Structure 1
Amino acid sequence: MLLIAGLGNPGPQYARNRHNIGFMAVDEIARRWGFGPERRRFQGLVRAGEIETPQGPVKSLILKPQTFYNDSGHSVGEALGFFKLDPAELVVFYDEIDLAPGRFRMKAGGGAAGNNGIRSITAQVSPYFRRARMGTGHPGHKDLVQGHVLSDFHKAELKWVEPLIAACADAAPLLAAGEDEKYQAEVMRLAPAEKADPRALARGKGD
């Protein structure tokens, strides 16, 4: 079984925030693969389903913690413990300010890099889970980060946000099969984004 968690904040006022791109991605995975209805469990919202792979269907659970972003570990840890899953069976989708907008990178293990949601999950689970990092760019100074991640995507940004979310869902069979490197490559093939300094937009040098 695969536990796919998306990070974000609950409530309509946060729905289009950069911090909620993880929610957006897992919602699209659930929609694309016909998961069941959303219900409350594990201090979050869950949807159960299967993702087809060449080796057969993989049972999967979508989880959107409702504990607020910085305390996501309580919800994720509860679900992982209930199903007695290993951290390697957990994939977390979240916004990454140290990647340029539209870039996508898979990573297993490592530090939190200042992300309080990832720090919370690490404290509850261990650092050895799989991370689907969705680039949203950096505002240019650490004092501007909170305002950046808690602000909505601009209309112009949807030209890369929507294709990236769709690509994460369309390529999901590779994720379910444990082929993280191939999944990353396929997401970037389906939704290409130029390599750039994540702070370039803050300096007016972005596209």
Structure 2
Amino acid sequence: MKIVVGLGNPGKKYVGTRHNIGFDVLAVLAQRFSADRWKSSFEAEVTDIQIGSERVVLVAPQTFMNLSGRSVRAVVKFYKVSHSELLLVHDDMNLPTGRLRLRGTGSAGGQKGLQNTIDQLGTSDFARLRVGVGRPPGKMDAANYVLQKFSKSEFSKMEHCVERAASAVECWVQDGVEKAMNEFNQTAPEDGESL
């Protein structure tokens, strides 16, 4: 069994914002694999899918981004999975828009939802898929930037990126972190290129 957590903020106000890219990736996976209804549990919206022979629990914490770890810890404890079976998907301002970076461990890099998860689990030894949303322009505050929706010029690129991120999750589930890193940590394809 694998646990895939997409980070974001609950509520219509945040739909389509940079901070909710983790939720967007879960939505693509749920659609691709015909997930049943989402249920409220562990302070999250949760559903199951099957990827190959693996049961995968998709988790969208509803605690707001900065408290996501509380939900993640509850899910990991309930299902008794090792940290190597956990993948977090989240936005990253330190990557160019549309770029993916998968890692098996590492620091939070300033992402507060990831930091809270590390704090709650007491370890950083779990996989994370960072989805690049770019840096804020000029002197714009980072917190305001991640709560904005993508511009029209970014939207097409991010649609491709979310699809690629969902494929990276599939690869991680079936083939492990190293193969997924080798395949998806490359430069993002240009608009219109095949995924």
Q: Which amino acid aligns with 1:73?
A: G
Report the more deviating stretch, 15-24 or 132-141.
132-141
- The 5 Å alignment of 1:78-157 reads 78-125=74-121, 126-139=123-136, 144-157=141-154
Alpha-carbon distance in structure 1 between the residues aligned to 2:146 and 2:4 = 22
Question: 1:47 offset after TM fit, Å?
Answer: 0.7
Note if 1:14 corresponds to 2:14.
yes
Alpha-carbon distance in structure 1 between the residues aligned to 2:69 and 2:181 = 24
Q: CA RMSD in A?
A: 2.1
Q: Percent identity?
A: 33
Task: Report the TM-score, using the length of structure 1 for normalisation.
Answer: 0.85
Structure 2 vs 1, CA of residues 51 and 19 (structure 1 numbering), >3 Å: closer, same or farther? same
Question: 1:26 offset after TM fit, Å?
Answer: 1.1
Alpha-carbon distance in structure 2 between the residues aligned to 1:156 and 1:14 = 19
Structure 2 vs 1, CA of residues 149 and 189 (structure 1 numbering), >3 Å: closer, same or farther? same
Alpha-carbon distance in structure 2 between the residues aligned to 1:111 and 1:84 = 24
Deviations along 1:118-175, one digit per CA (max 9) or x if unpaired, are 1110011121110000000011578621111011111211111111111222444321
Return 5+ residue gaps in structure 2 as ranges.
Answer: none
Q: Which amino acid aligns with 1:40?
A: S
Q: Which amino acid aligns with 1:173?
A: E
Matched residue SS, 1:109:
coil
Alpha-carbon distance in structure 2 between the residues aligned to 1:189 and 1:119 = 25
Alpha-carbon distance in structure 2 between the residues aligned to 1:168 and 1:151 = 20
8 A Cα contact 2:171 2:180, kept in partner: yes
Alpha-carbon distance in structure 1 between the residues aligned to 2:125 and 2:106 = 7
8 A Cα contact 2:94 2:132, kept in partner: yes
Structure 2 vs 1, CA of residues 114 and 69 (structure 1 numbering), >3 Å: closer, same or farther? same
Note if 1:3 corresponds to 2:3.
yes
Point out 4+ residue stretches in structure 1 off by more than 3 angstroms: 140-143, 170-173, 184-191
8 A Cα contact 2:105 2:124, kept in partner: yes
8 A Cα contact 1:102 1:193, kept in partner: no
Alpha-carbon distance in structure 1 between the residues aligned to 2:186 and 2:125 = 27
Residue 39 of structure 1 is matched in structure 2 by 39
Question: 1:20 offset after TM fit, Å?
Answer: 0.2
Structure 2 vs 1, CA of residues 94 and 171 (structure 1 numbering), >3 Å: closer, same or farther? closer
1:163 to 157, 160, 165: 160
Matched residue SS, 2:68:
helix
Matched residue SS, 1:100:
coil
Residue 199 of structure 1 is matched in structure 2 by none
Deviations along 1:70-106, one digit per CA (max 9) or x if unpaired, are 0000000000000111111110000010000111010
Matched residue SS, 1:177:
helix
Residue 68 of structure 2 is matched in structure 1 by 72
2:180 to 171, 183, 197: 183
Task: Report the TM-score, using the length of structure 2 for normalisation.
Answer: 0.90
Alpha-carbon distance in structure 1 between the residues aligned to 2:146 and 2:170 = 29
Residue 51 of structure 1 is matched in structure 2 by 51
Return 5+ residue gaps in structure 1 as ranges.
Answer: 195-207
